[in-house]
Amino acid sequence: MIPEPSPDDTPFLEPFTISVPAGSKGTVTFVPEESGSTFYLASVAISKEEQTTYEIRDDSTPMYGPAAVPPTDIDDSGVTWVPCQSFESSLKVIIKNVSSTQRTYTVLPMGYETVEGA
């Protein structure tokens, strides 16, 4: 990862599963655990499904998409951004299921959080 985390930084690798009804949108929001810290994001892996659009926003700014494919598939989990993207307030993953059936998606942001004041 670039920048490389320091030994005091906290790794972040927490999967979240969301069910999105047919023709609906689901939003997953991640926030740093420590107030005032910066979150560095190497990738966001998401289940890849047909008839789906994927969008990622950091602190309300577009980071990825909308696109018909996720930044990386949950089965691949490759690094997407070099250097890492960063955010301080929130990361929103927006998934639109335009199919005629409910779908379940797993979202896995991969990165680390800096220690406050670091």
Residue 15 has what pLDDT? 92
Please count the other Cβ atoms lying within 10 Å of the Cβ belonging to residue 33: 11
Closest CA to 108 of 81, 83, 72, 61: 72
Q: Does residue 1 fall inside a structural domain?
A: no
Q: Give the tokens for residue 22.
A: 């047919």
Q: Does residue 3 fall inside a structural domain?
A: no
CATH number reported for the structural domain that contains residue 103 in this entry: 2.60.120.1330
Domain coverage including residue 80: 10-113
Q: Does residue 2 fall inside a structural domain?
A: no
The reported pTM is: 0.87
pLDDT per residue as tens digits for the range 12-69: 888 999 999 999 999 999 888 776 788 899 999 999 999 999 999 987 789 999 999 9
For the chain, the domain total comes to 1
Q: What distance, in Å, lies between the first and last C-alpha atoms of the chain?
A: 17
Residue 118 has what pLDDT? 47
Closest CA to 19 of 100, 108, 95: 95
